[in-house]
């Protein structure tokens, strides 16, 4: 399912065609992508809470309907408002709901939790890699409308097939986790619901939220400015490829590593890698050094995308994991929108080495946040 809900991040593969056919400028059409990112973040926030209360199989069917409807609207869009509504609101929201549902199921696994989360979130990254050349071929063969129609049938069908493998009751999903709730969660009062149910875990959730956005910020900036960090125009394509390859490999490797050594030591390793990569971008002028740093930066981002849900699952009971992870993920949405824009504004005045210096400071703060997450883990006895 996570593979099938990845078309939001295929935007660059067809944005030029959309701008041309709708007769709008690229900055104007990119509004659909910006709205999609916001809707994706909102979908994870709301979807996490829904995943704690609704059977994953039912949510998957809703996701499939949203993916088909959003792609169909994009296929038939003749104006920018329809594109924003179909691609941005509907597809973006369905993508967020699907991502939250898949991570919720993986994050509550009783054993091999790291490997389970790694498979799920790496599939999301792999979707964009695998589907991009497919989109390119379909655009040349059947055009914009035909391409989106094919994607709607293909990806909608995949989500429906995936739903058959998901638990059909909330109880089934909850039973995947054998860990007890932290001591402070016990109470004779009626159980709270939604965000109110997270009150006993506010400190570890705040720590994880801070850690996640700090750990994601450098790579999210780099995704928007990879060619600029690579030093030369000739290295731009290699920079994009290495950044995305690192993202995929980091996601795939982090889970099994965390299953062996624990997610806290793995988080410290990602913090060290992030500091090293950012300092390399500051100090090394040669393109080869910058490309190596971007590969590491992508791997660190992929790893923290796996390790963060593991950290959340370690401090809240399984039946509140979805809500908690949705709240933690909101920081990603904020920095994903503001980070690249802020970096572009700063670079016009100071250049990209100075931007990399700021990112190195962010990396140091991320390491401090990892220490904070570790201390909250100890406090809850997990």
Token readout for 145 is: 């409308």
The residues of the chain scoring below 70 in pLDDT are 171-198, 200, 377-382
Compute, in degrees rounded to 10, the torsion defined by CA atoms 80, 83, 85, 88: -120
pLDDT of 377 reads: 65
pLDDT of 184 reads: 44
Q: Measuring CA to CA, which residue among 120, 100, 123, 125 is closest to residue 321?
A: 100
Looking from the CA of 75 toward its CB, the CA atoms found within 13 Å total 20
pLDDT of 357 reads: 93
DSSP state of 8: G
pLDDT of 238 reads: 83
pLDDT of 277 reads: 95
Separation between Cα atoms, residue 325 and residue 199, nearest integer Å: 14
pLDDT of 190 reads: 45
Looking from the CA of 77 toward its CB, the CA atoms found within 13 Å total 29
pLDDT of 177 reads: 41
Q: Measuring CA to CA, which residue among 322, 99, 330 is closest to residue 209?
A: 330
Residues 6+ apart with CB under 8 A from 258: 114, 266, 306, 307, 310
pLDDT of 337 reads: 79
């Amino acid at each position: 399912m996570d593979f099938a809900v990845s078309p939001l991040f295929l935007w660059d593969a067809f944005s030029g065609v959309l701008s041309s056919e709708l007769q709008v400028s690229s900055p104007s059409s990119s509004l659909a992508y910006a709205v999609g990112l916001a809707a994706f973040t909102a979908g994870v926030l709301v979807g996490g809470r829904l995943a704690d209360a609704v059977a994953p199989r039912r949510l998957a069917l809703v996701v499939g309907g949203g993916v088909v409807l959003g792609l169909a609207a994009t296929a038939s869009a003749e104006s920018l408002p329809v594109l924003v509504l179909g691609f941005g609101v509907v597809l973006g929201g369905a993508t967020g709901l699907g991502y939250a549902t898949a991570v919720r199921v993986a994050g509550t696994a009783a054993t091999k939790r790291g490997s389970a989360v790694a498979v799920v979130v790496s599939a999301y990254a792999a979707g964009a890699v695998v589907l991009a050349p497919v989109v390119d071929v379909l655009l040349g063969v059947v055009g914009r409308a035909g391409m989106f129609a094919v994607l709607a049938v293909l990806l909608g069908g995949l989500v429906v097939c995936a739903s058959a493998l998901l638990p059909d009751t909330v109880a089934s999903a909850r039973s995947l986790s054998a860990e007890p709730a932290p001591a402070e969660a016990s109470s004779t009062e009626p159980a709270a619901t939604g965000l109110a149910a997270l009150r006993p875990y506010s400190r570890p959730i705040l720590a994880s939220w801070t850690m996640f956005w700090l750990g994601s910020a450098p790579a999210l900036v780099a995704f928007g400015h990879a060619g600029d960090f690579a030093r030369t125009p000739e290295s731009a394509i290699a920079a994009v490829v290495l950044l995305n390859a690192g993202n995929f490999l980091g996601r795939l490797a982090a889970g099994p590593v965390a299953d062996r050594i624990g997610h806290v030591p793995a988080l410290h390793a990602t913090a060290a890698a992030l500091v090293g990569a950012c300092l390399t971008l500051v100090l090394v002028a040669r393109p080869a050094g910058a490309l190596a740093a971007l590969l590491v930066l992508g791997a660190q981002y992929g790893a923290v995308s796996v390790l963060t849900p593991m950290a959340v699952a370690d401090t809240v009971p399984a039946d509140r994991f979805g809500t908690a992870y949705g709240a933690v993920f909101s920081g990603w949405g904020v920095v994903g929108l503001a980070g690249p824009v802020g970096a572009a504004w700063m670079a016009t005045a100071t250049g990209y080495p100075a931007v990399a210096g700021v990112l190195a400071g962010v990396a140091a703060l991320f390491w401090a946040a990892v220490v904070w997450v570790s201390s909250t883990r100890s406090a809850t006895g997990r």
